[in-house]
């Protein structure tokens, strides 16, 4: 097993071909492939469009030192230029989230959506050495998923602008000793503001990470938006998918610069369930009985309403409306708790 501290740093985005490095103004100098034929790795992942690759790597976390797995990650695309590398992390089946290089001494250049920016030297082939954290004793495993795109992709849709093929990805599974999670995410007391015409209100939410976004945050975050809040004279407190958000209130494509076809769908229906029923949902399996709704808006919401939903990616869930402040712009808002499959 290799000691990562002994590797000579070479800029992350300089590899033009296998084990070739050159000088650059990029400051990504902390993740490297060494020019050393005797270098050893805990795993080697390769995703090629020409075959003869190794797309699934399994590592025993008990054999690792410093709780890190050193993995050589190689991608090749003879047909398309690779511009971004997407990496997600799923800890103990708790749901996929963007992988952040939160390892001491590691810094990388990335896009606002969390993907890694590939410079022109890496467009057709690259090899990186990436240190992946291993599970702690309480985690069953961590699964990392990696794919390359020709432009802005989608953390929840590997086929979007995939540079190698619609299903082309690599997985790195690092096993630990614990048990898996319940396959469900829970977000508490999320507040969305009524929209402002300039798009600067915190109006949209992502079911992927529970984060709230401004419409003016722009195209880098568009793939993460699932639904937003608005308030109408007749429909009052309402929710709508990003794709079906009322353009007479705020025109999302115009403000965000995102094409209508790139905005997510999300489907809603008011439920007969109670807040007690909501509180009793404890796992992904408890949400399987939800019938896929057909409407992309739900209106005239009141505190205590339970809303069933299904996102564009097939994840089902419930919203529990906990507070509403009637009003437009900065004067209005809604709060809710969420339980959603991951």
pLDDT in tens, 213-268: 887 776 778 778 899 999 988 899 999 999 999 988 888 888 888 888 889 999 99
Q: Looking at residues 258-285, what average pLDDT do you find?
A: 92
**Structure tokens belonging to residue 13:** 């985005």
pLDDT > 90: percent of the chain = 46
Higher pLDDT among residues 12 and 182, named by residue: 182
Q: Is 26 exposed, middle or buried (0-12, 13-18, 19+ CB in 10 A)?
A: middle
Q: Which residues pair with 59 in a beta bridge?
A: 174
**In this model, does residue 134 exceed pLDDT 60?**
yes
- pLDDT tens by residue, 37-74: 556 899 999 999 988 899 999 998 888 878 889 999 99
Q: Looking at residues 290-311, what average pLDDT do you find?
A: 96
**Structure tokens belonging to residue 12:** 């992350």
Confidence at 167, pLDDT banded by 50, 70, 90? very high
**In this model, does residue 85 exceed pLDDT 90?**
yes
Distance, in Å, from the CA atom of 159 to the CA atom of 278, rounded to the nearest integer, reads: 34
Query: SS3 string of 233-296?
Result: CCCEEEEEECCCCCCCCCCHHHHHCCCHHHCCCEEEEECCCCHHHHHHCCCHHHHCCCCCCCEC
Out of 65-74, 113-122, 140-149, 239-248, least confident range: 113-122
Higher pLDDT among residues 184 and 30, named by residue: 184
What pTM, to 2 d.p., does this model score?
A: 0.64
**In this model, does residue 301 exceed pLDDT 50?**
yes
Q: Return the SS3 of 13.
A: helix
* Closest among 76, 83, 144, 138 to 109, alpha carbons compared: 83
**Structure tokens belonging to residue 237:** 């407190």
* Nearest 10 degrees: Cα torsion 155, 65, 62, 104: -30
């Amino acid at each position: 097993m290799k000691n990562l501290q002994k590797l000579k740093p070479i800029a992350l985005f300089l590899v033009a071909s296998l084990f070739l490095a050159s000088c650059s103004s990029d400051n990504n100098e902390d993740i490297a492939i060494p020019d050393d034929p005797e270098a050893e790795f805990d795993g080697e992942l390769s995703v090629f469009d020409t075959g003869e690759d190794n797309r699934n790597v399994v590592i025993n976390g008990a054999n690792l030192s410093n709780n890190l797995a050193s993995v050589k990650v190689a991608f090749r695309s003879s047909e398309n230029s690779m511009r971004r590398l997407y990496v997600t992390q799923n800890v103990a089946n708790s749901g996929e989230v963007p992988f952040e290089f939160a390892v001491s001494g590691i810094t990388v250049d990335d896009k606002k959506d969390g993907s890694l920016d590939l410079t022109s030297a890496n467009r057709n082939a690259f090899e990186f050495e990436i240190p992946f954290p291993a599970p702690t004793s309480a985690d069953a495993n961590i699964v990392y998923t990696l794919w390359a795109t020709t432009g802005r992709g989608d953390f929840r849709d590997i086929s979007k602008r995939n540079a190698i093929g619609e299903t082309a990805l690599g997985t790195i599974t690092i096993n630990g000793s614990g048990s898996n999670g319940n396959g469900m995410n829970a977000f508490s007391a999320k507040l969305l503001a009524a929209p402002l015409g300039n798009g600067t209100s915190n109006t949209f939410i992502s079911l992927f990470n529970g984060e709230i976004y401004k419409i003016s945050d722009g195209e880098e975050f568009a793939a993460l938006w699932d639904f937003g809040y608005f308030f109408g004279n007749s429909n009052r407190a309402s929710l709508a998918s990003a794709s079906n958000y009322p353009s007479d209130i705020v025109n999302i494509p115009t403000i965000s610069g995102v094409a209508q076809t790139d905005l997510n769908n999300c489907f809603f229906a008011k439920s007969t369930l109670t807040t007690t029923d909501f509180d009793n949902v404890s796992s992904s399996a408890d949400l399987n009985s939800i019938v896929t709704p057909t409407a992309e808006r739900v209106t005239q919401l009141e505190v205590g309403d339970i809303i069933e939903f299904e996102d564009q990616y097939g994840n089902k869930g419930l919203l529990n409306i906990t507070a509403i402040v009637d009003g437009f712009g900065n004067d209005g808002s809604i709060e809710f708790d969420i339980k959603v499959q991951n």
